[in-house]
Chain A
Amino acid sequence: GIQVEQSPPDLILQEGANSTLRCNFSDSVNNLQWFHQNPWGQLINLFYIPSGTKQNGRLSATTVATERYSLLYISSSQTTDSGVYFCAVWSPSGSYRANNLFFGTGTRLTVIP
């Protein structure tokens, strides 16, 4: 199946700092999404971004599908940004014909005041 690698695995930031999270994937994808899992376990969809760049407030994401990577930028980080950020992809070469997602192992972000 498709491989999804995220880096760094852990990141500690001072409040107000900026950060970049990376997601590499091993095959062409039709779908890439970024999720944030808060400390209570709830997963929230941040971006659906199979290609190009999107911005939503302090967060933005860029996917370069031809080079098989995506970046999530967090600017002016806040303590509420803490949690785990997952990249998830769907590939037509995956094991299933269904529209299910393959998840990376995540980047755990801790923002300290």
Chain B
Amino acid sequence: DGGITQSPKYLFRKEGQNVTLSCEQNLNHDAMYWYRQDPGQGLRLIYYSQIVNDFQKGDIAEGYSVSREKKESFPLTVTSAQKNPTAFYLCASSPRGLHYGYTFGSGTRLTVV
């Protein structure tokens, strides 16, 4: 079955550490996205990529970095510069150029300890 796989499901980070969240899709979608969700809030866009080797900042990119070396993969690194990283992170993908067909992964819950 096609879909998006995010790992790990839960992640604990110490202060000052960088961590990388994995997102893999086998839907042959060109576009991929990373969203952050805080309790009681909607989703806010961190980064998006429309095509391999290209990505753009969203609303809240500071303290995060991404890469898009393969169509299937869009990992997100939460750096030590992100002052409040505890949140629920969701990865999504969609066919390029379409305004529908979004598929979401099951999310990674990151906690700073």
Contact = CB atoms under 8 A, between A and B. Distances in A.
A98 B99 contact: no
A69 to B, nearest CB: 17
A90 B88 CA distance: 22
A100 B88 contact: no
B107 interface: yes
Interface string B27-64: 00001010100001111110010100000101100000
Band of interface residues on B: 20 to 34
Interface in A83-107: 86, 88, 90, 95-96, 98-101, 103-106
A52 to B, nearest CB: 14
Nearest to B109: A41
Contacts of A103: 35, 42-44
Contacts of B97: 99
Contacts of A105: 40-42
Interface residues of A, number: 27
Given A96-B58, A104-B42, 18 more contacts: A1-B59, A33-B102, A40-B106, A41-B106, A41-B107, A42-B104, A42-B107, A43-B90, A43-B92, A88-B43, A95-B59, A98-B31, A98-B56, A99-B96, A99-B97, A100-B45, A100-B48, A105-B41
Interface of A: 1, 4, 30-31, 33, 35, 40-45, 48, 50, 86, 88, 90, 95-96, 98-101, 103-106
